[in-house]
Every structure is written in C-alpha cells, then in structure tokens.
Amino acid sequence: MITFYEDALCENCYAVRLLLHMLAVPYTSHFIELYPSRANLQPRFRAINPLAELPVIDDDGVIIAGAAPILVYLAAKHAPGTWYATDTPALAQVTHFLTLAERLSATVGAARRHESGFAPTDLPAAHTGATRLLRGLDAHLWFAEQQGNAWLLPTPHPTIADLACFPHVILCEEGGISRQPYPALRRWCDRVKRLPNFLVMPGVFLTAPPKTE
Amino acid sequence: MPDPTTANLWHPIAACADTPVGTPQRTTLLDTPITYTLHGEGHATAASSSMLPVLIRYGYIWTSLGTPTADLFDIPEYAEPDRRRFNAASVSVHVSAPRAVENFLDMSHFPFVHTGILGAEPHTEVKEYDVETSAERDEVLATRCRFFQPQPSTAADQGAEVEYVYRVPHPNCAILYKSSVIDETRRDVIGIFVQPVSQERVRAHMLVCVLDDRSDDETIKRFQQTVFGQDKPILENQFPKRLPLDPRAESPVRADRVSIAYRRWLSAKGITYGVIPAA
Amino acid sequence: MSAHAWHPIAAARDLPPRHVFHAKLLGQELAVWRADDGFINVWENRCLHRGVRLSIGLNEGQELKCQYHGWRYASRTAGCTYIPAHPEGAPARRIANRIFPVIERHGLIWSALETSPDDLQTSLPPDPLVLREIAIDAPAAIVEPLLAAYDPPGHGPRPIFFIQPTDSESCVIRGVVPEPPPTGALALLRLHDAALCALRDVAEQRPAA
C-alpha cells in the first residue's frame, strides 16, 4: 500500500492525488501541513525527505519525492501505454512538459504561495515569467485543437504531462494571474475536469457535464 | 485612513501557536506595517511608528491602531477544559473583511461550494431562521439555523441536519455554534477572526473550539482548511470586493436575512473601511 | 473605440458546447456561452445575487448556473429561473442579468456595449481562416500603427485585422485571412502567429504615450 505525504492546499500534491485517483491506486494519506505550522520542517518528516518538500510517496519502502518523479513512477508502473509514453518522441515530449510544470511551479506557483502568505517571492518577476509560460502553453493548446488534439501530447489519451501542468494553471488566479487572456487553456481545463475520476481540491470548481447527443 | 470605529477595534494579527517565540515578525493591518514579537509566558509586544496596545486572547495576538473603547468579545466556551482549541487556518484572501465575514454567515452556498461536506444537492433549502440585532450586546445574532450536512465535522460518520447559531460580536469577527455530534447538549464553536490587511485584502484566522475526542489536530486542520480553501476562489471572484451596504445594491432573498442585518449593523456603526457605504 | 460599435470579442471556435468564455471589452467583463441550441449569450460577468463572476459558473446547456449559490439563469433572456435556497418559490421576475447584443459572423463573435448598433458592415466572406487571437498588454493605440505596418510573412495574402480593446491598457488582435489557399492552412496560421507574437513583443516594450 502506498503512503502519500501531502498537504490539502499544495498544488504539486494535487497533481499526484489526481493521478492516484484516475488510476484507482489505493493509498493512505498522511497530512503534512506546510502552512502555517510548517510541519514539513519537523525532524520526523525530514527523516522521510531530507529536502523537507512535498509530495512524497512511500510504496512499500520505495520512497519517491517530487511531483514529476512520482507521476513518472506511478504512470510507468500502472499505465505505461496511456498515462505514460513509451515511444521515443513521446517520451521526450512528456519530459518537456514535466520540466515546464516545474517552471510553472517556480513562477505561477510562487505567485500563489506569495499571495497566500506561505512564502514571499519577487512577485513582478514571478508574474513576468508566468505570462511567458502561460502564453506559450495557450498557443501550444490552440494549435493542438486545430489539429484535432485535446491534450498536451498528440495522443488520444491524456498523459502525466497534462496532470503535471494542470494544477498550476487551474490555481493561477490565487496568485493574482487571470486566466482570461488564455482561452485555449481555459478549454483544456474543462476537458481535464471531465476526465473519469477527476477530483477537485480547494480552489478548483467542477465544470458542467458534456453535452449528450 | 480607516474610519474611527475600525481604527479603535482590536484586530487579530497572528496565532500564537504559529508564531516563533522571541523573534520579531512582520504583518500588515489596515494598510499599516506592524512589527510584533511573541515573548514567553503569554506576553507580546507590537509597534508601527509607535508602540501599540496588545492583547492575547483565544490563542491569537490582537492589537489596535487606535484606542480600543471596549474589551474584546467573550467566548465562554473557550475556557471549558475538555475542548480542542487551536488555530485551524490562517488564509490570505483578496477580498474585503466584511465580504469574508458575510460568506461565513451564509448557509445557502454549502451544497455548491462545500459539496459533499457541508451540503449536497438536492438538500438546498434554507429554512426560516431568526435574526436579531442586540443593541445591548452590540451584536448580530442568527438562531434556529438548520441545514442538512453530509459530513458536519471530523467527528461525524454520517449526514445530519445540524443546527447553527451565528453570532457577530465584532465587525470583522463571527462565531458559529454548531450542534455537537459527540454531546447533543453542547455545541462546537468555530470562530473566524478577519485581519483587514487593506480594504480589499485580508488574512482570515479560524479558531476551532470543538468536542472531538477521536480526530487528531491534523485531521481537524485539514478539514477546516479544505472548507476555507473552497471559499477562497468564490470570494476572489466576487465584485465589487468591498461590501455594498446599500440595501438595493445586490439581490438578497429570505435566506440572506442575516447578511441584511449585518450590512445594516455595519452602516449604523458608521463603518466605511472595506465597504461601499450606502448613499 | 465607441461603446456603440461592434467589436469582435471571441472566435466562433472559442465557444464549444458547455463552456463559458471569459471576455472583456472596453473594461466590461463578459460571460459568453453557447447554449445547446446554438444560441450565443453575452452577459455581464456578475451574478445578480452576490456579485460572483458567471464565467466560473456552469454552462448546463439551456441555463447558466452560478458556482456560489446555484442560481440559474436562462439562455436568451438571462432571467433567473431557480434559487435553490428557496426551491418552492419562483424567483422575482425582475431578477434578470444584463445582456449585450451579439452577432456570429466571419468565424468571429461580435458584441457592443450599448444596445442595437446598426448592422455589422464588413466585406468579408462567410468562412475565412481565423488566426489565433493575440492578447497584448498594450493599448490599442500602440498596436494600431504596428499592425498597419504589418508585413505578411512569406508571400501569403494579407489578413484583415480587428483590434478588440479589452480595456485602456490592453487589447486583442483578431485576424482573418479572407481567401486562404486550399492547402497549407496550418503552416499559414503558424507563420502569422509567429509574426504577430514578435509584433506583440515590440508593442509591450513601447511605453504608453
């Protein structure tokens, strides 16, 4: 059984929680409060992850820390042909978006942590970086739609690339970054929300069910 | 400049349990930067350009930019020894303090915003409840508030119709009394103490003072932070961010009688900070 | 920049079923949604009850549902049809959201802030190639001369451009190619997109006069 160390309000934990639910992998949750008590800095959590960061999973002794490595671990183990890529170009594309998600966390996520009072940051720099990345992602998805693709990769099934980027995009307004200039991103968010076993977190609303013919 | 009523209030600025002892901390209150230090033995100091009055109450540090004309409101249940009492969350929200308080007083959003926890469709009806504004105690009180909740608290196994009492003893603080699932003769107490950072930004501190002998602190915190985290994006998508006090400004219905009374009470107090005063 | 004039506020493709598009025109926020019968609603982006943006609400096909208290508003009239806190009573008839005029034409959605301007006059064909919209953090007045000097990449046909003034500090370029070549549409879209993104960089570096 997987033990999942998480905080209910952490967007990187949300990416992992989404995949666990979509794969229907059972787990027990262990709440580590990042703010205001900063339980992640306590010795008992540092013993599990010396970086004192969330998320972490412990899969019967295999300890993996960080959203991207955990997503890779879970998807490669449980759903290699769908949620995780196996062919060469797709593997590189997935890696591209996992890296992009880290950059979103350092800009969009930093703005959110700043506005939430969790951690101060250089807000104008975070917003400038965020705008650049969100514009690029919005353009990518607009052209994907033009070619009949719904997801970040040109595959019929979504991948961990989508789940890695989604939390940052859907929570960006908590960092004072409007999603209004990014219509393709807003439509993609609706599509992610309509995936089977989708789960909200605080700050995320459901969308309407799809039109049935 | 805040209005005199607001300036002379006690305002919460931090939870003691989340404040390192002996190290100066910074925060902002009513657009004013404040430095405060929690010393040992339940004593704290605070200053802006000059020293400020300080009070430690209910696990929080309170201060004032003016001269407080009254003592802080009383919560007798806080002294009961068998209760779990702690700060469950301190959340920053881009909204005015009165909007945050009004949301706390609102039951009709439970099925839509706290789906599966504090409410669920089709149980959406807000039944008649009583509202009074007491001149003697200077507070707004809503009683006989009843609502069906799928998971009323961390101590609950199943859904139940719960009864609430809402009390607003301070323009930016509200207290909720909720029937306990552990002891039907007593009530859980949850307080929201809003720190107005500016007219349109707040830090909302949430006090729990509950009867729950089986959940650990982390579980209770997670529950309250989830609920609060669900309110945050609603509040941040509300316009205008300041609360309009003109009764014709928005479209209240019968379920909003407590909010109507709250807005009227703020008007009568002459509050202008964080609101759009009635013409 | 008249409130009485028609302005493009979205592309037709921006309004898939069950989606709520978040638009802005001359500082006015709009919730734009296509009902299941195809009707396009352009509404003020505020629930009448407690002021929450309707663009975070749910497009349920014939009604838009607010996220805060579940109030429902009907397509076409924007009248409130249901208040869940009081399921027995019908909502007061006066509770209706503000609606704006709308035309779907040339692959774009057009609206105006003041009601009933004259009919939209353009000489465009019905189904041109619609470029990706380019949102710019610079006023329309800065963007206009740059667009006038726009040099189409390659030797393709020149697009027709419209500038949607979102507010006094920002705008959106919406371009259409009236008679696109029979093949290579995607490559053409990419060429213009790259050129317009470069134009945006220039516009955003210019200090507003």
Cβ atoms of B193 and B12 closer than 8 Å:
yes
pLDDT tier at C206, thresholds 50, 70, 90 = low
Residue contact C51–B126, C-beta within 8 A: no
- What domains can be seen in chain B, in order of their start residue? 1-72 (2.20.25.680), 74-276 (3.90.380.10)
Taking each helix axis as running N to C, give the angle between helix B97-104 and helix B217-236, from 0 to 180 degrees, rounded to the nearest 10.
Answer: 120
Give C69-85 pLDDT, tens digit per residue: 999 999 999 999 999 99
Alpha helices in chain C (DSSP H): 140-148, 185-205
Ramachandran assignment for B88, one of left (phi > 0), alpha (psi -120 to 50 degrees), beta (any other): alpha
Alpha helices in B167-256 (DSSP H): 217-236
Q: Chain B to chain C, count of Cβ pairs less than 8 Å apart?
A: 62
Q: Which residue has the higher pLDDT, C23 or B220?
A: C23
**DSSP E strands: which ranges in chain C?**
7-11, 20-25, 28-34, 40-44, 58-59, 63-65, 72-74, 80-82, 102-105, 108-111, 129-130, 134-136, 160-167, 170-177
Instruction: Provide the CA B116 distance to its chain's centre, in angstroms.
Output: 22
Give A60-105 pLDDT, tens digit per residue: 999 999 999 999 999 999 998 899 988 899 999 999 999 999 999 9
Cβ atoms of A25 and A78 closer than 8 Å:
yes
Give the span between the Cα atoms of B87 and B60, in whole angstroms: 8
Chains that touch A (3 or more CB pairs under 8 A): B, C
Residue intervals of chain C classified under CATH 2.102.10.10 are 7-111
Cβ atoms of A43 and A37 closer than 8 Å:
no
Give the span between the Cα atoms of A118 and A110, in whole angstroms: 9
Q: Which of residues 174-203 of B touch C (CB under 8 A)?
A: none
Any idea which fold C129-205 has?
Alpha-Beta Plaits (3.30.70)
Residue B70, pLDDT score: 84
Residue contact A173–B236, C-beta within 8 A: yes
Residue intervals of chain C classified under CATH 3.30.70 are 129-205
Give the span between the Cα atoms of B138 and B141, in whole angstroms: 10
Report percent pLDDT > 70 for chain C. 95
Three-state DSSP class for residue B35 = strand
Beta strands C40-44; C28-34: pairing state: antiparallel
Tokens standing for B104? 């706390």
Close Cβ partners of A96 (under 8 Å, ≥ 6 residues apart)? A161
Nearest-Cα distance to chain B for C84, in Å, is 5
Nearest-Cα distance to chain A for B177, in Å, is 24
Residue C209, pLDDT score: 45
- What domains can be seen in chain A, in order of their start residue? 2-78 (3.40.30.10), 88-193 (1.20.1050.10)
Nearest-Cα distance to chain A for C94, in Å, is 27
Give the span between the Cα atoms of C12 and B210, in whole angstroms: 53
Give B115-141 pLDDT, tens digit per residue: 999 999 999 999 999 999 998 899 999
Q: What average pLDDT score do residues B268-275 get?
A: 97
Tokens standing for C57? 């609400």
Would you tell me which CATH number, out of the four given (2.102.10.10, 2.30.30.90, 3.30.1330.10, 3.40.50.300), belongs to the domain C7-111?
2.102.10.10
User: Tokens 């465009």 map to which residue?
Assistant: C124
Nearest CA to B27 out of B15, B14, B16 is that of B14
Give ipTM to 2 decimals: 0.95
> CB of A31 within 8 Å of any CB in chain B?
yes
Q: What average pLDDT score do residues B81-108 get?
A: 96
Residue A188 confidence (pLDDT) above 80: yes
User: Tokens 């806190």 map to which residue?
Assistant: C85
Give the span between the Cα atoms of B36 and B23, in whole angstroms: 9
